[in-house]
Homo-oligomer: A and B are copies of this chain.
């Protein structure tokens, strides 16, 4: 169990790292950010920052030597960086196995299925020939995604028919990919849960999520789905966490089909955009929960004391800030990004419904 005053190392300098760093500080920890970006959002709320490449093994070793635990705010930390940290004696939570699986969509689907969690039909694609063959089994409409490094709808192409194979393959840059069937789902939900170092487990109430252009727009908690479906989703998430011997907050996104069947869409080995409302509506936020877990502390309560609706502020949504700060039911969080760009997540707000 880390003592107050210990240092939480965070790989990545974005908004998730920023919010984890603030939560760590509230519990008396120092945050130390490792990022390749100068003046990152997270570094501006952290005690210390190392600006270095994720390939810089000397910098990673120095980082490992001065922090008490290392966590990540994004799943695309190079596997060799996480391994270099472990080799330097760092306690990495969640572990390198969770990162390796989450950063490869094929490994992820395979792992989920092996953990007894259903997913959409898929096929691993290494070439245009693979894609053409796979389209016989995974029939369009389908979506082709790069195996690695995709997020927020980037690195994806839709296929309406088998004729789209070549343009889709070119659109994603002709690289290792996964072909996924587009299932006619009724709802998207996510489970934001934590597993403690002692194997304890706690989930927040799963929210209903709405995406636009591949980017999360709104999460509404709690989901209005029947409780037994939500319990199934939480149980599936627990199987995933246990199978990984996971420590920290883990998120699994699910499609819910008309018949109530759940298909896991993807997992994120970290706090998640669809859990930001927990900061406004729960005693323990997902950020504090993650810090508690990786520090070896007991997990906090996940009770929700209000209904909550979290909206992302993307690009020009920043123009809404003057109206939002005058709205008494809104709790606003901005990420301190210097430049507003189309499609860029600039902040979010949570509206409490009491």
A: residues with CB less than 8 A from B are 1, 4-5, 18, 21-22, 25-30, 43-47, 280, 283, 292, 297-298, 300-301, 303, 305-306, 318, 321-322, 325-326, 328-329, 331-336, 338, 347, 352, 354
Contact = CB atoms under 8 A, between A and B. Distances in A.
Contacts of A333: 26-27
Given A28-B334, A283-B329, A301-B329, 8 more contacts: A43-B47, A44-B46, A45-B46, A45-B47, A283-B328, A283-B352, A298-B325, A301-B328
A328 B300 contact: yes
B27 A332 contact: yes
A298 B326 contact: yes
A201 to B, nearest CB: 15
A263 to B, nearest CB: 33
A352 B303 CA distance: 12
A350 to B, nearest CB: 9
Contact of A292 (B43, B283, B325): B325
A30 B283 contact: no
B301 A4 contact: no
Given A297-B325, A328-B283, A25 B45 contact: yes
Nearest to A334: B28
Nearest to A298: B326
Contacts of A43: 47
A46 to B, nearest CB: 8
Contact of A22 (B1, B45, B303, B332): B45
24 contacts: A1-B322, A4-B321, A4-B347, A18-B25, A21-B45, A22-B22, A22-B25, A22-B45, A25-B336, A26-B333, A27-B332, A27-B334, A28-B336, A29-B336, A30-B336, A44-B47, A45-B46, A280-B283, A283-B331, A298-B325, A298-B326, A300-B325, A301-B328, A305-B354
Number of copies: 2
Nearest to A283: B331
A333 B22 CA distance: 11
Contacts of A5: 336, 338
A198 to B, nearest CB: 12
Nearest to A339: B5
B25 A347 contact: no
Nearest to A27: B334
Contacts of A347: 4, 28
A44 B46 CA distance: 6
Contacts of A322: 1
A212 to B, nearest CB: 23
A287 to B, nearest CB: 11
A4 B334 contact: yes
Which of A28, A301, A347 counts the most chain B CB atoms within 10 A?
A28
Contacts of A26: 22, 332-334
A321 B3 CA distance: 9
Contacts of A25: 18, 22, 44-45, 336
